[in-house]
Homo-oligomer: A and B are copies of this chain.
């Protein structure tokens, strides 16, 4: 899928094997009950990544791929897996293995969160190391802590997802200087995620130097998710355009 902003042909910002991430907006899709809305949100957002979940405990409602396939041209999207329900390194690793066995996915959006739903840094580092050793390409989620971020980069993560503020908090980037430092210290792409609750937060994250932004709850809980996805995409495009003036 090719995307353009005002005639600027977008270049991939991350390539893993023969698969490329081009859209700088990624949307989470695990909170939806209606496959038609997932299709509308993906389309309005311009996202080119499709995030597939696997719930080891079957505690979370999730849409069936067979239903989604009616609404979305899944072949147009880059599939990645997520461990967002995992509460331990071990659960994350088992989830990743299931995703590889079931769907052939080997790019993993790695989440290991504690009971407070915040990233568990020790568990994330352990799971990242094991999954990379096991052949996965890993995109871990952590707070903007320079030591942790550098350790993940050293392990060979293909990108690092940096928490703006607690998931679903709508507070935006709470610590801009730590965020900027982490982004600057990374040689791999940085994805700002968590707590993005306003279009100004999307622009601000990009202005801090983020490579991409992942938005989930703000769109999923909107009265009109597709409209909100379109708003977020416009904000992101605005920031990309503005940034290209300084490039």
Which A residues are within 8 Å of any B CB, using their own CB?
Answer: 6, 198-204, 207, 222-224, 227-228, 230-235, 237-239, 241-242, 244-246
Given contacts A231-B239, A235-B239, 19 further A-B contacts (CB under 8 A): A6-B230, A198-B203, A198-B204, A198-B207, A199-B203, A200-B207, A202-B238, A203-B235, A228-B242, A228-B245, A230-B241, A231-B237, A231-B242, A231-B245, A232-B238, A233-B238, A234-B234, A234-B235, A238-B238
Q: Which of B228, B237, B242 contacts A198 (CB 8 A)?
A: B242
Residue of B nearest to A221 (CB): B245
Contact of A234 with B237 in the complex, beta carbons under 8 Å = yes
**CA–CA, A232 to B222, complex, Å?**
24
6 pairs, CB–CB < 8 Å, chain A vs chain B: A198-B207, A202-B238, A228-B242, A232-B242, A233-B238, A234-B234
Q: Which of B224, B242, B246 contacts A199 (CB 8 A)?
A: B242
**CA–CA, A154 to B200, complex, Å?**
32
Contact of B235 with A199 in the complex, beta carbons under 8 Å = yes
In the complex, what's the smallest C-beta–C-beta distance from A220 to chain B, in angstroms?
12
Main SS class of interface, A: helix
Residue among A232, A233, A238 with the highest chain B CB neighbour number at 10 A:
A238
Please, which residues of chain B bring their CB within 8 A of the CB of A245? 222-224, 227-228, 231
Residue of B nearest to A218 (CB): B242
In the complex, what's the smallest C-beta–C-beta distance from A4 to chain B, in angstroms?
13
Please, which residues of chain B bring their CB within 8 A of the CB of A232? 238, 242
Contact of A238 with B244 in the complex, beta carbons under 8 Å = no
Known: A203-B198, A203-B200, A207-B198. A227 touches B241 (CB 8 A): yes
Contact of B244 with A227 in the complex, beta carbons under 8 Å = yes
**CA–CA, A204 to B201, complex, Å?**
8
**CA–CA, A93 to B177, complex, Å?**
46
